[in-house]
A = this chain, B = another copy of it.
Amino acid sequence: MLRKNEKYHIAIAGATGAVGRKMLAILEERNFPVDDLKLLASTRSAGKFLEFKGEKIAVEELRQNSFVNMDIALFSAGAGISREFAPAAVKSNCVVIDNSSAYRMEKDIPLVVPEVNSDAIGDNPGIIANPNCSTIQMVMVLKPIHEKFKIKRVVVSTYQSVSGSGQKAIDELKNQTRDLFSGNEVKVNVYPHQIAFNCLPHIDKFLDNGYTKEEMKMINETRKILGDDSVQVCPTTVRVPVFYSHSEALNIETEGPITGSAVKELLKAQSGISVVDDPPNNGYPLAIEGEDKNEVFVGRIRDDISCERAVNLWVVSDNLRKGAALNAVQIAELLISRP
């Protein structure tokens, strides 16, 4: 149970990673009431300094006892680290908001997008899971549509940026691009194939059913967040040579009659969603314009020409912000604002 306070002791586990740094920036820009801030990372990164509100803070090594006297810990260091250290944090009476996949599908762990299912947090959370980036931006849009039109099935193709794989993937796209332009040999490390000027229909590991883990996350997490196992999702997740923001092409079939124009009006009224849909003036959401923005951008909203009860949408959001760090900080804001 989070003790109520004016200001809070916040820990970030994985503080030096792409998402960890973004968490730090978002805590600062949203003026989160931080009393003490503890930046935690692996031995390799311990001793580095990161800045928060003009102050340099040393990164400490993440240990089992790092969470003593902490109120909220934001984890973004991979599922293994979460499994190893989150229980210790909970034992120290520190609420964990975990950006990894470790606990997302566990029955008693809430999986939360604040605009969608804040109620799921419950009275006394120990660990709250932050959903996968590609899921978050999708459910932000699905939720109001599901409430009004009841969704039967979603077919989604993604166009995901390399920042979803962390700083090393950002560097890999940069380096491969440079090497191609200067005639050097392209080195492949993070991804199994060249990502520069290419598309990889492969995110996370392949499972026996022919789907990737990323695709199964979009199915299972969506159902859990919407609280409705009847919602069918069929994803193809694809990595594209973009640095920041994921784009998604959604085809949504509903039980009830639906039109693009009704969906457009509905989405315009949602908090956290920005409708950018002006085809005659080439207005639609773009990855490069989603970068470092908090909103989920939606455009190309139109009737499905092939099916009466369906619509198409193009959804873009910064995967490091709403898809990760912002959503985690919003969960923390929810926690401290509860009566």
Contacts and interface: CB of A to CB of B under 8 A. Distances in A.
Interface of A: 153-155, 157, 159, 174, 177-178, 181, 192-194, 197-202, 206, 209-211, 219, 232-234, 236, 238, 240-243, 247, 249, 251, 260, 279-280, 282, 284-288, 299-307, 310, 312, 314
Given A240-B159, A286-B193, A260 B314 contact: no
Enumerate the 8 nearest inter-chain pairs by beta-carbon distance, A residue then B residue, closest first: A210-B302, A157-B157, A232-B306, A234-B306, A206-B279, A192-B282, A157-B249, A236-B249
Contacts of A153: 306-307
Contact of A155 (B155, B201, B209, B302): B155
Contact of A249 (B193, B201, B300): B201
7 contacts: A155-B155, A174-B181, A197-B243, A201-B284, A209-B305, A211-B302, A233-B305
Contacts of A288: 193-194, 197-198
Contact of A236 (B242, B282, B310, B314): B314
Which of A280, A306, A314: most chain B Cβ within 10 A?
A: A306
B198 A242 contact: yes
Given A181-B178, A234-B251, A241-B241, A305 B201 contact: no
Contacts of A154: 306
Contacts of A282: 192-193, 202
Which of A153, A198, A238, A288: most chain B Cβ within 10 A?
A: A198
A100 B301 CA distance: 29
B210 A300 contact: yes
B155 A251 contact: yes
Contacts of A234: 251, 304-307, 310, 312
B247 A201 contact: yes
A304 to B, nearest CB: 5
A123 B200 CA distance: 44
Nearest to A310: B234
Nearest to A243: B197
Contacts of A206: 279-280
A197 B289 CA distance: 11
Nearest to A210: B302
Contacts of A197: 241-243, 287-288
Nearest to A302: B210
B279 A232 contact: no
Which of A236, A243, A280: most chain B Cβ within 10 A?
A: A236
A243 B284 CA distance: 23
A240 to B, nearest CB: 6
A309 to B, nearest CB: 12
Given A178-B181, A260-B210, A199 B251 contact: no
